[in-house]
Structure 1
Amino acid sequence: MPIWKRNLIICWFGSFATMAGMNLVIPFLPIYIQQLGVHNIARVEQWSGVAFGATALSAAIVSPLWGKLADIHGRKLMLLRASLGMAIIMILIGFVHNVYELVGLRLLMGAISGYVPAAITLVSSQTPREHAGWALGTLTSGSVGGSLIGPLVGGTLSEIIGLRHVFYITGGFLLLAFLIAWVFVREDFIPNNSARLSGREVWKIIDKPKILIAMFITSFMLQLASMSIEPIVTIYVKLLMNNASHIAIISGAVVSAVGLANVLIAPFLGKLSDRIGPYSVLFVCLLAAAIILIPQAYVRNAWQLIILRFMMGIATAGFLPAINSLLKSNIPETISGRIFGYNNAAQNLGNVAGPVIGGQMAAYWGFHYVFFSTSILLFINALWVYYTSKGSFQISGSRCA
């Protein structure tokens, strides 16, 4: 087996484990906070939001730094740092005594993370150009799958073995990811002086900075569109079902539908981008996602919403493979870690902004406007991508003809 394929498999497992670890706490975080001594419902909701958002916010701030260090010292080292660091912090979360320690460790977890962008950088640097879309799509399915499975596994295990033991087991899986990467990942890394350039100097050596900025905005919009429904999904489903039973299960299905479609379709759309070009895939997926958002405001029952969210997942599945392929083809390899770090920061900012914006819009203007406004933003994003990459659609098509 070629080294790039073996590293892809290992990075897929590591990305799955780390994203599952970062998200498994979602179902029982309020309950854990109550066990730590916070009993007022309003305060529990506030601390839950702070504890969840702290991880994404600190990851957004620190991601460019880890990307730069990956360019200087190697991508394998960043894989080892992130997986071992997260394993230790995850185990420590199981020992916290109060909510302040919990938030502090969640903040530290976001800061120490960075496995996924390091894995993307490693895979993109080693994969032959003709297989880049498929490889990056497959890797995306691992991180998205972890985000999807994490809450399901976390909620189930918390009822079987208790909340604190969930953190110990997850820490063990992250430690396993560290050991596998340490033993099996191979990287022939050669440092380059350009990796130590300042941020301003980095942008000077990039031929098409507008394309990179467009990709960062698109990554932000992907997470914003996916996460905007998060704070309102249970209430929306409750209204659609007229307060019927099993609302929690149906709400979970609505949230999971996007991730499930991503896992199933991302490798295929990545392979398609290898054939027809990532610009075309990204542009069509942006338009499709923008269109599919609109009927979600008019659904009459929860099953219609689940189907539309699954279709939304099919459309958004093409985003990250195409974005990562475009980033790979428009930057020197010596600074790829830093650029993918910037892109990961944009994604994490979308994770923070999506629930906040969606919740506030639903509260002040109603559920419908969450879908309408997000759709308009994706339409604008699609036009911007087309404008910044004008002419590349024809180039991609002629290359594959």
Structure 2
Amino acid sequence: MKMWKRNLIVCWFGMFVSSVGMSQIAPVLPLYIKNLGVHLTPLIEQFSGIAFGVTFIVSAVFSPIWGLAADKFGRKPMLLRASLGMAVVVCSMGFAQNVYELIGLRVLQGVITGYSTACTTLIATQTDKEHAGWALGTLSTAGISGSLLGPMIGGYIGENFGLQNVFFITGAMLLIAFITTALFVKESFTRQDKKVLSAKEIWNSIPEKSLTIIMFVTFFVLTIALYSVEPIITVYVTQLYHNTSHVALLAGMAFSASGLANIIAAPRLGKISDKIGAQKVMLAALVVAGLIMIPQAFVKNPWQLVVLRFLLGLATAGLIPSVNTLVKRITPDSLTGRVFGFTMSAGYLGVFGGSILGGQVAAYLGISYVFFTTSALLLINAVWVYFKVYKKLSLKEEASYK
């Protein structure tokens, strides 16, 4: 087996588990905080929001820092650091004595994250050009599916094995990721940039600045689209389905349907982008995703919502591999880790921003407007991509053929 394929398999597992570790706490958080001695409902809601969101905010700050470290010391050391560190921290959450310790550990989890950044950089720099889209598409399924399936996994473990075991089982899986990374990931790393560049020097070294900004914004909008429904989905399913005994299951299925669709479609769309161009797949994915958002506001039962969320996942599956492929294409190898670090920061901010946006829009305008707002963001992004990415790269490709 080729080295990049073996690395891809190990990175996929580790990235999936680390994404589960970031998101699995969501459904059990209020119950766990109550067990830690907080009994007033408003305080439980307040602490739950802080404990969930703080990890993504801190991760957004530290991802570029770990991207710099990956360019400086190699990607494998960053994989080992992140997987072992998260294993220890997530397990420690099971031993928290009060809510402040739990929040502190969630902050620490955000600090030591960076597995996804190192994985993406490793695969992007070691995979040949002909297979880059497929490899990055396959890898992207790990992060998205882990984040979207994480709440369902966490809820299942919490209900059947106890709240503390959510953290112990996830920590054990992260430890397995550390061991498999140590044994099977191979990297031939040569540091290309001996000088530590400032943020301004890094930016000046990027040849396609406008394209890079568009990639960051597109990744941000994508994660907003996927996570804007998270705070309101249970309420929405309750309105559509009056048998309360199955609301939690149906809400979990509706939320996780996008993750399942990503697993199915992302490698295939990545392979298509290798053949026809990542900018074409990106534009089509943005338009289709924006249009699929609209009918979700008019569904009459939960099953229609599940189907539409699945179709949304099929469309958005084309975005992450396209973004990563284009970032690799326009970024010098010596800066790949740092630029992917900023891309991951945009994604983490999108997760947090999507959750806030969905909740606030639903509260002030109604649940239907969550879908309308997100659709508008995707379609506006599509227009921007058409004029600034699609037309520009298509003209370059035409010129190269002449």
- TM-score, with length taken from structure 1: 0.97
Inter-partner Cα distance in structure 1 for 2:152 and 2:360: 26
User: In the alignment, which residue of structure 1 is the partner of 2:235?
Assistant: 235
Inter-partner Cα distance in structure 2 for 1:341 and 1:153: 27
Size of the aligned set, in residue pairs, is 401
Contact kept? 2:152, 2:256, Cα under 8 Å? no
Change (3 A) 1:144 1:398: farther
1:221 deviates by: 0.3
What is the one-letter code of the residue matched to 1:217? V
1:218 deviates by: 0.5
Contact kept? 1:194, 1:335, Cα under 8 Å? no
User: In the alignment, which residue of structure 1 is the partner of 2:356?
Assistant: 356
Q: What aligned pairs does 1:319-338 form with structure 2 within 5 A after superposition?
A: 319-338=319-338
Contact kept? 1:277, 1:397, Cα under 8 Å? no
Q: What aligned pairs does 1:369-384 form with structure 2 within 5 A after superposition?
A: 369-384=369-384
**CA offset digits 1:118-174 (Å, max 9, x no partner):** 100000000000100000011111222322333222222223332212312221211
1:38 deviates by: 0.6
Q: Does 1:180 align with 2:187?
A: no
Kindly report the root-mean-square deviation, in angstroms, between the aligned alpha carbons of the 2 structures: 1.7
Contact kept? 1:71, 1:195, Cα under 8 Å? no
Inter-partner Cα distance in structure 1 for 2:344 and 2:84: 20
Inter-partner Cα distance in structure 2 for 1:365 and 1:170: 37
Contact kept? 1:33, 1:48, Cα under 8 Å? yes
Inter-partner Cα distance in structure 1 for 2:212 and 2:386: 13
Inter-partner Cα distance in structure 1 for 2:156 and 2:278: 38
Contact kept? 1:133, 1:273, Cα under 8 Å? yes
Inter-partner Cα distance in structure 2 for 1:263 and 1:399: 34
Inter-partner Cα distance in structure 2 for 1:54 and 1:391: 38
User: In the alignment, which residue of structure 1 is the partner of 2:163?
Assistant: 163
Change (3 A) 1:397 1:99: farther
1:193 deviates by: 2.5
User: In the alignment, which residue of structure 2 is the partner of 1:153?
Assistant: 153
User: In the alignment, which residue of structure 1 is the partner of 2:225?
Assistant: 225
Contact kept? 1:195, 1:334, Cα under 8 Å? no
Inter-partner Cα distance in structure 1 for 2:184 and 2:302: 45
Identity of aligned residues (%): 50
Q: What SS does the aligned partner of 2:37 have?
A: coil
User: In the alignment, which residue of structure 1 is the partner of 2:267?
Assistant: 267
What is the one-letter code of the residue matched to 1:393? S
User: In the alignment, which residue of structure 2 is the partner of 1:250?
Assistant: 250
Contact kept? 1:12, 1:139, Cα under 8 Å? yes
Inter-partner Cα distance in structure 2 for 1:287 and 1:393: 18
Contact kept? 1:72, 1:195, Cα under 8 Å? no
User: In the alignment, which residue of structure 2 is the partner of 1:314?
Assistant: 314
Q: What aligned pairs does 1:196-235 form with structure 2 within 5 A after superposition?
A: 196-235=196-235
User: In the alignment, which residue of structure 1 is the partner of 2:27?
Assistant: 27
User: In the alignment, which residue of structure 1 is the partner of 2:106?
Assistant: 106
Change (3 A) 1:159 1:243: closer
1:259 deviates by: 0.8
Change (3 A) 1:257 1:399: farther
User: In the alignment, which residue of structure 1 is the partner of 2:393?
Assistant: 392
Q: What SS does the aligned partner of 1:145 have?
A: helix
Inter-partner Cα distance in structure 1 for 2:87 and 2:174: 5
Q: What SS does the aligned partner of 1:391 have?
A: helix
Inter-partner Cα distance in structure 1 for 2:269 and 2:129: 16
Inter-partner Cα distance in structure 2 for 1:25 and 1:244: 23
Contact kept? 1:82, 1:113, Cα under 8 Å? yes
User: In the alignment, which residue of structure 2 is the partner of 1:365?
Assistant: 365
Higher mean displacement: 385-394 or 282-291:
385-394
Q: What SS does the aligned partner of 2:206 have?
A: coil
1:239 deviates by: 1.1
Inter-partner Cα distance in structure 2 for 1:210 and 1:338: 17
Inter-partner Cα distance in structure 1 for 2:249 and 2:397: 43
Tell me, which stretches of 5 or more residues in structure 1 are unaligned? none
Inter-partner Cα distance in structure 2 for 1:185 and 1:110: 24
What is the one-letter code of the residue matched to 2:180? I
Q: Does 1:77 align with 2:81?
A: no
Contact kept? 2:63, 2:341, Cα under 8 Å? yes
1:197 deviates by: 1.2
Q: What SS does the aligned partner of 2:231 have?
A: helix
Inter-partner Cα distance in structure 1 for 2:393 and 2:194: 27
Change (3 A) 1:4 1:239: same
1:371 deviates by: 1.1
1:194 deviates by: 5.9
What is the one-letter code of the residue matched to 2:134? W
Inter-partner Cα distance in structure 2 for 1:296 and 1:324: 28
User: In the alignment, which residue of structure 2 is the partner of 1:142?
Assistant: 142
Higher mean displacement: 7-16 or 151-160:
151-160
What is the one-letter code of the residue matched to 1:392? L
1:383 deviates by: 1.3
**CA offset digits 1:159-204 (Å, max 9, x no partner):** 3332212312221211111111112111111112366211111111
Contact kept? 1:194, 1:334, Cα under 8 Å? no
